[in-house]
Amino acid sequence: MALSHDAVIRLKTLGWALVLLLFVIGAPLLWAASPLLLAGVILVGALLGLSVHAARRLPHRAGRPPGWTHAFLIGAGLLTGLVAAPVWWLVLQPALHPLAVPRVTLSDGRRQVVFQGMVHVGSEQFYRSVAYDLLRAKDAGYVLFFEGVQPGTPEAEAWLDAATQSGGDLNAQYARIGEVCGLSFQGDFLAFVQRDEALDPVHLVTADVSVTEMYDEWRRLVAADPGLAEVLPADAGAGDRIFDMSSLLQLAAGLKDSQKDLLAAACKGVFSVVLGRAESPDALNRVILDFRNRRLAERIADLADADIYITYGSGHFAGLFRDLQAQDPAWRIVGTAWTTAILPPDDAAGRLRLDPP
């Protein structure tokens, strides 16, 4: 059934409104990334629109195609919106799907262990809240367990660098990532709690393993299963790295302010999406997660009469809980709370509306 003249006009109006909306939403974002990028997308979209228009003018096609100007505008508007859509999707993720980390209270019937899930890079508000909770727990007599892989031998350090393709000091890179993404590095907020570890080693404990211990565990696993030796490179130079984070961070440091703001917003979205997913199977996780979880469970068992407050990456909890229950089935979860690790910035600009004197 043919559409009436009024229906055709309404559909065309809606179509033009959609094209205009996509362009208005996408153009400012692409302009912030680079005016040249916006110009290039408009040009490519226009060429695509004109190509479709030219194809519709072929003799075997029925109907009357729109004019060249219409094709130009439709192609430019649609492609601008489509290119910007994934970036907008990332920017909106922290608000639509906030990255929540758990604070889980465990008990074996005699004492409590509080596991505060952490992320290496997050919002300043989150870290301030955790630091406050740590101080309260310390005052209440809890032993504080901190995450933090200790240095190892040069051989072990070279292995970890090659295995993770980190390109150097991980903590330094986390700090730089936080700066680029408009976030904070956890070490900048928890270090002041840990600084008294030498003065109070009973209540302040870095409970993690060393790089050497991780390397020894990996070699033990490879000896038991030689096939693992092919999973990770034994050594890798900077030129062999698939993903060079240092180069990307240097590139980000040279961006303009508007580009840095856009990158920071998109980066928060990436963290919300990537860190919100479950850990994917990885041979290296047998060392980075499983081995460290077992050692942490052993440390908890060694302090049989102490309440413990742990700050560790959220991905460690499931394995740690499994290892604790393997040691003692009496361990149970008695409470769980959730905190958003990536929040909007707390600074804002406004205007006080005061009555004139």
One domain for residues 176 and 310 = yes
One domain for residues 159 and 39 = no
One domain for residues 213 and 236 = yes
- Crossing angle for the helix pair 68-96 and 5-33, to the nearest 10 degrees: 60
One domain for residues 205 and 77 = no
First to last CA, the chain: 70
One domain for residues 142 and 42 = no
One domain for residues 87 and 151 = no
All residues at 6 or more sequence positions from 322 whose CB lies less than 8 Å from its CB, including other chains: 293
Greatest pairwise CA separation for the chain in angstroms: 88
One domain for residues 15 and 128 = no
Beta carbons within 10 angstroms of residue 105's beta carbon: 15
Q: What's the pLDDT score for residue 241?
A: 45
One domain for residues 42 and 162 = no
DSSP per residue over 31-80, as a string?
HHH-HHHHHHHHHHHHHHHHHHHHHHTSTT--S-PPPHHHHHHHHHHHHH
User: Which amino acid is residue 107, in one-letter code?
Assistant: S
One domain for residues 201 and 158 = yes
* Domain with 111 in it: 100-340
Asked if residue 235 is part of any domain, the answer here is yes
- Crossing angle for the helix pair 245-253 and 170-180, to the nearest 10 degrees: 30
One domain for residues 307 and 322 = yes
Q: What's the pLDDT score for residue 350?
A: 54
Q: What is the CA radius of gyration of the chain?
A: 27
- In tens digits, what is the pLDDT along the chain, a chain of 357 residues? 567 777 778 888 888 888 888 888 888 888 888 888 889 988 998 888 888 877 766 554 554 455 778 888 888 888 999 999 988 888 888 888 888 899 999 999 999 999 999 988 888 889 999 999 999 999 999 999 999 888 899 999 888 888 876 655 667 777 888 788 888 888 888 777 777 777 788 888 989 999 999 999 999 999 998 888 777 654 444 444 444 556 666 666 667 777 777 778 888 888 788 777 766 667 888 999 999 999 999 999 999 889 999 999 999 999 999 999 999 999 999 999 998 888 765 554 555 556 555
One domain for residues 150 and 259 = yes
Number of domains within the chain:
2
Q: What's the pLDDT score for residue 335?
A: 94
All residues at 6 or more sequence positions from 168 whose CB lies less than 8 Å from its CB, including other chains: 161, 246
Q: What's the pLDDT score for residue 237?
A: 43
Asked if residue 110 is part of any domain, the answer here is yes
One domain for residues 110 and 90 = no
Angle in degrees, CA 273, 117, 332, rounded to 5:
120
Asked if residue 133 is part of any domain, the answer here is yes
Asked if residue 248 is part of any domain, the answer here is yes
Q: What's the pLDDT score for residue 242?
A: 41
